Every structure is written in C-alpha cells, then in structure tokens.
Copies of this chain bind each other. A is one copy, B any other.
C-alpha cells in the first residue's frame, strides 16, 4: 500500500450544502482537521445542531457559494439537487464579474451520471468533479453523522472527457488529505454499474428476503427461528425504505440490468435443483470462486504508475488504471501516481 498520499493544491475553505449523514460527516471531519467550513441545510433545526457541533452554518446554498470555498461539496438528496444547483447558478454572473476563482464543485451521491446531468443542466458542469464515499450506516440525518465515519474509506472520483486537471487535483487534495480517504478513478457509467452490484442490488435482495418472509405461510415461524446471519444479512433493508428506494430508482438503468441477470441465474438454479442436476448446482456455487478469492484479501499494490497531466490521454489513462484496481498514491501538479495490484 502506498502511504503518505500527497496532493499539491491547498484546500483551506470548504462549503457543504446538505447536512445529512454524509454531508454532516464531511463537515465534522473537516472541522476536526482545522479547515474553515461553511455549511447549510434547508432545515433550521439541523443547522442549529450543526452549529452546536462546531460547524459554521449560513442560511442558504447561495450564501455558502459566495464565500468562495475552494471546494463546495453538494450533499443534498438527489431530488433536491436541481433546486440547489439553480440557486448556485444564479450567483455565477456576480462572482465572475467580481473576479477571482469560482469554487470547484463535488458531491457525495451514490449515483454519478444523474448528478452530472443535473450539474450540466445548471451550467456548472465545467467546474464539477464527482465523488462518492463508500460509507454509510443504517441511520441517517446530521444526528447520525460522525467525524470518524469517512476517514479510511474508499472514494470513487469521477473523470469525464472534460474534467479539468486542477479541479481534479483540488478534489483529490480534499479526499485524500483532510478527509483521509483512498481514491479510485472511474467514469460515471462504470461507477453506476459498480455500485448497482455492491450496494443497490444488495439492498434490493435484502428487501426481497423480507418480502418473501412476509408473504410466506411459514413466515412468522421463520422469523422466530431466524438466527443472527439472517438479521445481519437483512440489516440494510430494515431502516428507511424511502432512502433505499431513492437510491435504487436513481440508478434504475444499471439496477434493472443486474436484476434481470439475477432473475435469469436464480431461475436456472431453481431448474437445476428441481431436475436434481448436481453438476449445474455445483457450477452455480463455483461461479463465485474468483470473487470469493478476491474478497478474502485484496493483494497489496505492487507497482506504481505515474500519469502525466500534460499527456493528451491522461483522463482515459486514469480511468483505465482505476478499472484495473489502481488507487491514488501521490498527486502532484504535473502528474498523479497510482498504486496498482500485481499484474
């Protein structure tokens, strides 16, 4: 593992719009790291809670924006994002007229393509670098946020054909610096396909286990017999079905494809069990072997590759290496060094 991530662009002031579980945890972590944080949330009680926790809050997203943070973190629910972006967009002409740099925009949402669409629709696309921390709990809201939820977690950082190098470096500086995360580069569509696999569809299948039990004549007894593994395996389906639903519906394109694959596999397994086709049943359980092996322990990165930011294909290369399992090691003004697993 490459340690001592370095990132060259100073981030001293950070804006946070939306103080739920993740936005709140971003704000708390940055305050704890000594950064100047300016934050808001549409809910006054949430702002008061955040203020009491040491987060400087203001009354609106526009007020956060005009303080010109180095990076502004968008952390509202996906449905509320267009309104927030419209509010920010309205301030742009004045900020531009006053001169000086505009904030880099990033976000923490669990789907990336729809966020880019919304950001571009608001005319803010050229300053946006998407991000997604792979962290969460069953709880939600500022009250559940913590300054130890994000440190150590993996962040997906999105690269598009128009990503500006300085903006990417700024977001990297934030993520791998005061937020103490590990960064992996990815395109929007690949990100959304990946989180369908490791987050959204797992939430659906956990919900499905509850639905099957609800519908079954033996359901009440089944719950009486349920051991810890059932309770553990369905925990993600137990709280706030509306939040799960919003996540799944927000990534419907990718989720639907994965669900159709699951339907096909499970139907084939049922056929094989019914026919007593042991070879097919064995094959079903063996299909997972490569992932089983990978989950037992990821190999330590054994090589490093530097991508120069004056290479015309630097974006494509970052995304390629990200797909191959690379994590960000060191970022300089001119190049980003990635740590790769053994070839």
- A-to-B contact residues, CB < 8 Å: 134-136, 153-154, 156, 184, 186, 190-191, 193-195, 197-199, 201-202, 204-227, 229-238, 241-242, 244-245, 248-249, 252, 255-256, 258-263, 265-267, 269-270, 273-274, 276, 278, 281-282, 284-292, 294-296, 298, 322-325, 327
Given contact pairs A245-B285, A285-B242, A209 touches B213 in the complex (Cβ within 8 A)? no
Given contact pairs A259-B270, A281-B249, A184 touches B227 in the complex (Cβ within 8 A)? no
Which among A135, A156, A218, A281 has the highest number of chain B CB atoms within 10 Å? Answer: A218
Task: A214 to B288: give the CA distance in the assembly, Å.
Answer: 6
Task: State how many copies of this chain the complex holds.
Answer: 2
What are the 10 A-B residue pairs with the smallest beta carbon separation, nearest first?
A: A210-B288, A194-B222, A241-B285, A193-B218, A134-B227, A198-B226, A259-B270, A252-B273, A197-B222, A194-B218
Given contact pairs A206-B233, A223-B295, A211 touches B290 in the complex (Cβ within 8 A)? no
Chain B residues within an 8 Å CB radius of A281: 245, 248-249
Task: A194 to B220: give the CA distance in the assembly, Å.
Answer: 9
Q: Is the CB of A205 within 8 A of B205?
A: yes
Q: Is the CB of A221 within 8 A of B273?
A: no
A sample of 15 inter-chain contacts (CB < 8 A) reads A193-B218, A198-B222, A198-B223, A202-B234, A211-B287, A216-B258, A223-B298, A229-B236, A237-B288, A238-B296, A249-B278, A252-B274, A259-B267, A259-B270, A262-B266
Q: Is the CB of A230 within 8 A of B273?
A: no
Q: Is the CB of A295 within 8 A of B224?
A: no
Task: A190 to B225: give the CA distance in the assembly, Å.
Answer: 11
Contact of A134 among B195, B225, B284 (CB under 8 A): B225
Q: Is the CB of A190 within 8 A of B221?
A: yes
Given contact pairs A207-B284, A255-B273, A273-B249, A225 touches B184 in the complex (Cβ within 8 A)? yes
Q: Is the CB of A208 within 8 A of B207?
A: no
Chain B residues within an 8 Å CB radius of A221: 184, 186, 190-191, 194, 322-323, 325
Q: Is the CB of B199 within 8 A of A229?
A: yes
Chain B residues within an 8 Å CB radius of A288: 207, 210-211, 214, 237, 241
Q: Is the CB of B325 within 8 A of A224?
A: yes
Of all chain B residues, which has the CB nearest A226? B198
Chain B residues within an 8 Å CB radius of A291: 210-211, 213-214, 219, 223
Q: Is the CB of B214 within 8 A of A198?
A: no
Given contact pairs A202-B230, A273-B252, A288-B241, A197 touches B219 in the complex (Cβ within 8 A)? yes
Q: Is the CB of B213 within 8 A of A197?
A: yes
Task: A191 to B217: give the CA distance in the assembly, Å.
Answer: 11
Task: A135 to B227: give the CA distance in the assembly, Å.
Answer: 6
Q: Is the CB of A208 within 8 A of B266?
A: yes
Q: How far is the CB of A245 from chain B (nearest CB, A)?
A: 5
Q: Is the CB of B266 within 8 A of A270?
A: no
Of all chain B residues, which has the CB nearest A236? B229
Chain B residues within an 8 Å CB radius of A327: 224
Q: Is the CB of B323 within 8 A of A262?
A: no
Q: Is the CB of A256 within 8 A of B270?
A: yes
